Amino acid sequence: MPANRQILLDNRPSGPASESNFKLVMVETPVLGEGQVLVRNHYLSLDPYMRGRMNDAKSYALPQALGQVMVGATAGEVVESRSAYYQVGDTVVGRGGWQEYCVMDSNAQHGLRKVDTSAIGLSQYLGAVGMPGITAWLGLVKICEIRTGETVVVSAASGAVGSAVAALARARGCRVVGIAGGPDKCRYAMQELGFDACIDYKPHQDAASLSRALAQACSQGIDSYFENVGGMVQNAVLPLMNMHGRIAVCGLVAGYDGTPIPMANPQLILTSRLKLQGFTVSEYTELWPGALKELSTLAISGKLRPRESIAQGIATAPRAFLGLLKGHNFGKQLVKLV
């Protein structure tokens, strides 16, 4: 069995996360048991939710255990199998973690599933046609229940979730406005992702200034807001929400370092009768097939083809992850392992 390089969570961050929180180790891959498969991971997905799991605090998921392989979705190839369902050479996605190889049971425990790469690239199953895409679909279709002609706003617009929000909302005849960091990301959002407008938050020093800029792009107000950031961005959006507007809270990256995120003017939730709901993809697994079907169709047609930021090699994962939290990535952040 091959030697396997892994990234462990060595200690918990106090304040911002750093590379010293992680540890690279080399271990022997265990011999397969009955019903198990050995997967050579080709890609590792890096996602903001991982930062919250590094803390030993109440959250929507259990904390990452110290001394264990960091959690994360992977896409790769079966290289050895003791399962009747999986054959050597099958391309699969699952929750293999931050490591080059993973041993998985051939059942639903790790969410292992075969994928077809004839029309959709393997890496896309970790982004557009994976968890980020499903997240976008659930937030828009299940939580916000968007309708034709509405105005939809999404923060972190150029990222993996934001790009899927744009494609899904446009497919439903909505006007889509993004919020992103920097002119390059805003141009990309409009020219390649199909946003009707995209506001750069970086020149704005406060929520009032950002809100004025956003209002110019949302002359009819905002019907649905897909929240990835929180903080100043959220405070800029709330005054522009239309009566009975809906807000899907997917992430709050502004508070991932443990800093409290104050909400200005929470009375607007009452006065505008807003629906504000947090959610995670794991709560709605029965809806995944429908979401994946639509996302696959959009990807194959070329209407959902976001960029990917790819770091090379397992040792680069901590640095790439910290860059993701600071917005250094352009599109979906991956680590290529082969």
CATH code of 28's domain: 3.90.180.10
In a domain, 292, yes or no: no
Q: Is the dihedral of CA 85, 88, 90, 95 positive or negative?
A: positive
- Measured CA to CA, the distance from residue 293 to residue 113 in angstroms comes to 15
In a domain, 301, yes or no: no
In a domain, 69, yes or no: yes
| SS3 assignment, position 315 | helix
311 and 215 share a domain? Answer: no
In a domain, 289, yes or no: no
In a domain, 295, yes or no: no
CATH code of 200's domain: 3.40.50.720
In a domain, 157, yes or no: yes
- Measured CA to CA, the distance from residue 189 to residue 195 in angstroms comes to 6
Looking at residue 108, its pLDDT comes to: 55
Q: Is the dihedral of CA 107, 308, 333, 183 positive or negative?
A: negative
207 and 249 share a domain? Answer: yes
Looking at residue 157, its pLDDT comes to: 95
281 phi and psi angles, rounded to 5 deg: -65, -30
180 and 113 share a domain? Answer: no
Residues 6+ apart with CB under 8 A from 249: 227, 276, 277, 278, 279
189 and 110 share a domain? Answer: no
pTM of the model: 0.90
Condensed to tens digits (0 to 9), the pLDDT of residues 101-144 reads 999 987 655 578 999 999 999 999 999 999 999 999 999 999 99
Looking at residue 253, its pLDDT comes to: 85
Looking at residue 288, its pLDDT comes to: 93
The single residue listed with the structure tokens 């992680």 is: 22
Residue 79 lies in domain: 3-127+306-336
The count of structural domains within the chain is: 2
* Beta strands at 197-200 and 175-180: parallel, antiparallel or unpaired: parallel
Looking at residue 267, its pLDDT comes to: 96
89 and 154 share a domain? Answer: no
Residue ranges, the chain, pLDDT below 70: 107-110
Structure token digits, residue 57: 């605090």
In a domain, 97, yes or no: yes
